[in-house]
Amino acid sequence: MSSFIRASKYRHVYVEPPKVDQTYKGFRLATVTGEQQYIKANTTFFAVALQGGGGPFAVVKHKDVGEYKAGTPLVAGHKSAVLDLDFNPFHEHVIASASEDSTIKIWGIPADGLTETLTEPLVDLHGHGRKVTLLRFHPTANNVLASVSADMAVKVWDIEKGSESASCEEHKQLIQDIVWDHEGKVWATSSKDKKLRLGDPRSKSIVGEIDQAHAGAKSTKLSFLGGFDRLCSVGFTKQSQRQIKFWDVKKLGGEPVHQIQLDQASGVIIPYYDVDTRVLYLAGKGDGNIRYYENIAEKPWAFALSEYRSTQAAKGTCFVPKRGLDVMRCETARCLKLVSQAGKGSVEPLSFIVPRKSDAFQDDIFPDAFCGAPSMTADEWWAGANAAPRTAPLDPAKAGNGAAPVAKTFTKVKTAAQLQKELDEAV
């Protein structure tokens, strides 16, 4: 092999678009716009916000391909439109919703999916003064949720207790994105003031800043690159050229360790990082293309692998967790692409495949991955504990060795009125 050819297991990964009968159609998508991805998924369901009263959103099983029919049960318990959604990574049937009504609600989805419209949440969280725009569950601690609002506050909640645990009000302009690092020690935000901030909710302080990450006025999106102590930001130059920058988390405030100029376009790009394969996917709102880069520990830091091209622009995208992939088909990633045309929405699952001739499990391209179980409780994390995400083999032959442990059943928080009623009845 020539020394000029870089060896990579993912060098020839390609995208396999779905057949017509493998897509999801007929969604009357909500018309509100914002910083959100517009679609979220776990290994069982995906969710999208819809038009209608009560801030409705659909929760659809991956196996239920085809037309989403009018009258299908959904979730509708807000007073205004839903802006963002996030599935609890440790409870397949728990999802959080953020709304223009300034509340966050936690919902329990039945094991067999929705059989009737759900209007009563498990937990109702109040604390933000304006619309709640973004939600992010903690990657290792159970039942910890971060939220961002137009009141320019970042709040961290214990959803099992139904209480606010920390709040950061250091931002002076609207927050464009929030992400947790790989172990959930800190969160990072981007803001309209062009600053990137690292916050530690346990010390209730900002622990790092980058003054002007990108010179352009449009949104900057973020992703931590787990295993490298690097933060990736995707934004714009003053000339509206899209660019990626890679920052050393331990040396914030200086110059980026690497940057890549992409193209000149208006769509905001959202980065998705696969910590197992070290592949960074870039999917833009309003773009039909998805670029992907392999990351390494030394210069030049990132290599372009390939690019999926499509004439169909995406309204939003998300990636399915590794446990939901068809590993025997060498599917190393699956992107759900939300498309909107003439008021109707459809979802296309795009499979990223590594070509292999063998039908056996390919352990070299499928290292142990996040297993769906928490590394610690919320109380342990607040007390100062840190831990990496728990992993397990993806090999179906080892499925009995803890491939998908399930966290304990989520307990609905009782309201003060319910507790008082129980006390009155006990007297």
**403: confidence class by pLDDT, cuts 50, 70, 90:** very low
Per-residue pLDDT of 241-284, as tens digits, reads 999 999 999 988 889 999 999 999 989 999 999 999 999 999 98
Q: How far apart are CA 244 and CA 260, in angstroms?
A: 5
**At 1, is the pLDDT very low, low, confident or very high (cuts 50, 70, 90)?**
very low
Model's pTM, two decimal places? 0.92
| Closest by CA position to 303, among listed 278, 328, 286 | 278
Q: Are 268 and 225 in contact (CB under 8 A)?
A: no
Q: How far apart are CA 7 and CA 20, in angstroms?
A: 36
Taking only the tens place, the pLDDT of each residue in 123-157 is 999 999 999 999 999 999 999 999 999 999 999 99
What pLDDT, on a 0 to 100 scale, did the predictor assign at position 417? 57
* Rounded distance between C-alpha atoms, residue 167 and residue 157, angstroms: 9
Cα 370 from chain centroid (whole Å): 14
For the chain, the three-class secondary structure string (H helix, E strand, C coil) is CCCCCCCCCCCCCEEECCCHHHCEEEECECCCCCCCCCEEECCCEEEEEECCCCCCEEEEECCCCEECCCCCCCECCCCCCEEEEEECCCCCCEEEEEECCCCEEEEECCCCCCCCCECCCCEEECCCCCCEEEEEECCCECCEEEEEECCCCEEEEECCCCEEEEEECCCCCCEEEEEECCCCCCEEEEECCCCEEEEECCCCEEEEEECCCCCCCCCCEEEEECCCCEEEEEEECCCCEEEEEEEEHHHCCCCCCEEEEEEECCCCEEEEEECCCCEEEEEECCCCCEEEEEECCCCCCEEEEEEECCCCCCCEEEECCHHHCCHHHCEEEEEEEEEEECCEEEEEEEEEECCCCCCCCCCCCCCCEECCCCCECHHHHHCCCCCCCCEECCCHHHCCCCCCCCCCCCCCCCCHHHHHHHHHHHC
DSSP single-letter state for residue 381? H
pLDDT at 230: 95
pLDDT of residue 342: 77
Percent of the chain with pLDDT strictly greater than 70: 92
Work out the number of other CB atoms within 10 angstroms of the CB of residue 181.
17
With a cut of 90, say whether residue 399 has pLDDT above it. no
Strand 66-67 relative to strand 24-27: parallel, antiparallel, unpaired?
Answer: parallel
Mean pLDDT score of the chain: 92
How confident is the model over 205-238, as pLDDT tens digits? Answer: 999 999 999 999 999 999 999 989 999 999 999 9
Quote the pLDDT of residue 2.
Answer: 42
Q: What is the pLDDT of residue 294?
A: 95
Among 316, 321, 281, smallest CA distance to 42 is for: 321
The confidence score (pLDDT) of residue 409 equals 53
